[in-house]
Amino acid sequence: MVRTTLIALAVLVVGGLAACGSSSTDTSPTPTGSSNAAPPPTAVPTAVPTAVPTPTPTASQAPPSEDLSGTWSGQYTGPFNGTFTLVWTQTGNTLNGTIKLSSPADNLDISGNLTGSTISFGAVGVVTYTGTVANANAMSGSYTDVANGQTGSWNATKP
């Protein structure tokens, strides 16, 4: 009987060792004790605050280099030659106003933008102007007649 008990014990030990040596991808510990034991607490992910980058100003956000509000007098040459009077109001980089042309005679509502010293303005579907503001009293550039694509030059001063 001792021999039978020893053989049974050896079988249990070898079987237990074989079970412990078997491969498994589960690395969690085997619970001991009763099956009514509460499962181990699980980790709850915690939100990690991330820094919000500060936007870098682009050219379109640059403050205007000059205040162009007021009345300007100028001249243009090219496919059309004549004089003009601009009356601007400026809010930030945005320009709005009127332009009175001598040839062909016309009064147009215009809108535009000033970014640094670069100006662009025009009357939708009629004419576009681009140029450079030299200072608070002088600017110049080129224009394009939208109807025929012809270009010319312009300059203006503010008294």
Q: For 44-83, how does the pLDDT look when each residue is reduced to its tens digit (9 = 90+)?
A: 555 444 444 444 445 444 555 688 999 999 999 999 899 9
CA distances from 83 to 24, 57, 77, 155, 158 (A): 90, 37, 9, 10, 14
What are the structure tokens assigned to 96, written together? Answer: 């709005």
Report how far residue 109's alpha carbon sits from residue 86's, in angstroms, rounded to the nearest whole number.
Answer: 10
Report how far residue 75's alpha carbon sits from residue 68's, in angstroms, rounded to the nearest whole number.
Answer: 17
Report how far residue 116's alpha carbon sits from residue 65's, in angstroms, rounded to the nearest whole number.
Answer: 5
Flag whether pLDDT at 2 surpasses 70. no
Q: For 88-102, how does the pLDDT look when each residue is reduced to its tens digit (9 = 90+)?
A: 999 999 999 999 999
Q: Which residues pair with 112 in a beta bridge?
A: 95, 121
Domain boundaries, the chain: 60-157
Q: Which residue has the higher pLDDT, 45 or 7?
A: 45
May I ask the CATH architecture of the domain 60-157?
Beta Barrel (2.40)
Mean pLDDT of the chain: 75
